[in-house]
Amino acid sequence: MSSAGGLRVSNVSVVLGGVRILEDVTFDVAPGESLGVIGPNGAGKTTVINAICGLVPLMAGEVWMDDIKLTGRRAYRMRGLGIGRSLQTTQYFHDLTCLELVSLAAAPNSAIGAVRFNGHRRPDKRSTEVLEMLGLSDYAEHPLSELSTAVQKLVDMARAVASGDKLLLFDEPTSGVSQSDRAVIAKALTSLREVGRTILMIDHDPAFVVANSDRLMAMNFGRVLKIGTPPEVMQDEEVRSSYLGEMSPT
Ligand SMILES: Nc1ncnc2c1ncn2[C@@H]1O[C@H](COP(=O)(O)OP(=O)(O)OP(=O)(O)O)[C@@H](O)[C@H]1O
Ligand SMILES: [Mg+2]
């Protein structure tokens, strides 16, 4: 399976409301690689994703995906480039089914009504495939409100996968998900890695990030503290002290 969606973030700084949120952030994610992003609350992790997606202006620096410069593109002009993102908090129309929600992400210009009430609705191949890849086929016709948090998070990931087939940006896929249910999220990530998707994933569960990433990036106060293999980053003194009280010893 060919890989694409290599990401290069170079010297990115972001200032919001007069406050410097990101300071000289530089890292890359190779095509097909999975980079886990860790750091305490407020470290700037979500802002990194927003900076990649064009949702916040860059004060300095550049973002590239493969040979496409993303910097300066507005968020709405990102569609079609193959970038999908999930959200830290999922708030959807809970009476829509999993298939409907994923179909909407696959074809964002269609009105909800067109998806939902079109009596001649053809099975949407792409959405069906995405549901299958993430282990959601059994839930396709279930309204989101009936499903567990883990499945809701998977649907959010499936929406990202349906809208972007190269680079996936996942913001805390395990937040609110019980420890025992995290295995289904891990399995979905494994499936995506197997087909060569490039992944940037933020998560607060150290064991989960280590198990599901090729490399890690630790952040604090809007800066990159350390990038390396999971053991290199997890054993780093500065990383460990930034987590005091938040991360149990590994
Ligand atoms: N639009 C904004 N205007 C001003 N400050 C902001 C804005 N968005 C985020 N911030 C601030 O930037 C800092 C980084 O926020 P960000 O959401 O990127 O952190 P995070 O690492 O994702 O944290 P968490 O783990 O809690 O999700 C925080 O101090 C936050 O309050
Ligand atoms: Mg965040």
pLDDT at 213: 98
Mean pLDDT of 111-134: 69
Tokens of 230: 């999971």
Percent of the residues in the chain that have a pLDDT greater than 70, as a whole number:
87
Tell the burial category of 123 from Cβ atoms under 10 Å away from its Cβ (0-12, 13-18, 19+).
exposed
Length of the chain: 250
CATH second-level architecture of 7-242? 3-Layer(aba) Sandwich (3.40)
Please report the atom of ligand 1 found closest to the CA of residue 21: 12
Average pLDDT, the chain: 89
Is pLDDT above 90 for 196?
A: yes
What three-state secondary structure class fits 65? strand
Q: What are the tens digits of pLDDT across the range 38-60?
A: 999 999 999 999 999 999 999 99
Ligand 1 atom closest to Cα of 47?
A: 18
**Residue 55 Cα to ligand 2 middle (Å):** 14
Which among 145, 180, 170 has a CA at the least distance from the CA of 88? 170
Give me ligand 2 centre to Cα 202, in Å: 8
| Token pair recorded at residue 85 | 């993102």
Domain boundaries, the chain: 7-242
In the predicted structure, residue 123 carries a pLDDT above the cut 80? no
Distance 43 CA to ligand 1 centre (A): 7
pLDDT at 106: 80
| Total Cβ atoms within 10 A of residue 109 | 7
Q: Which ligand is in closest contact with the Cα of 171?
A: 2
For every residue of 128-194, DSSP letters joined together read HHHHHHTT-GGGTTSBGGGS-HHHHHHHHHHHHHHH-SSEEEEE-TTTT--GGGHHHHHHHHHHHHH
What spacing in Å lies between the alpha carbon of 96 and ligand 1's midpoint? 30
Name the closest-CA residue to atom 31, ligand 1.
42
Q: Is the pLDDT of residue 34 over 50?
A: yes
Decide if 227 contacts 27 (C-beta within 8 A). yes
Average pLDDT (8-18) is 97
What per-residue confidence (pLDDT) applies to 119? 46
Q: Per residue in 133-177, pLDDT tens?
A: 999 999 999 998 899 999 999 999 999 999 888 999 999 999 999
Residue nearest to atom 6 of ligand 1 (CA): 16
pLDDT at 33: 98
Q: What is the pLDDT of residues 63-117, one digit of tens each?
A: 999 999 999 887 777 778 999 998 766 666 678 899 988 988 887 555 554 555 4
pLDDT attached to residue 246:
60
Spatial distance between the Cα atoms of 59 and 236, rounded to a whole number of angstroms: 29
The pLDDT tens digits for 200-241 are: 999 999 999 999 999 999 999 999 999 999 999 999 999 999
**Mutational pocket test of ligand 1: of 16, 53, 88, 203, the residue with most ligand atoms within 8 Å of the beta carbon:** 16
Q: Any idea which ligand is nearest the CA of 38?
A: 1
Determine the average pLDDT of the residues in 181-194.
Answer: 96
Ligand 1 pocket, Cβ-based, cut-off 6 angstroms:
16-17, 19, 21, 39, 41-47, 88
By CB atoms closer than 10 A (0-12, 13-18, 19+), residue 67 is exposed
**Integer Cα distance of 244 and 211 in angstroms:** 21
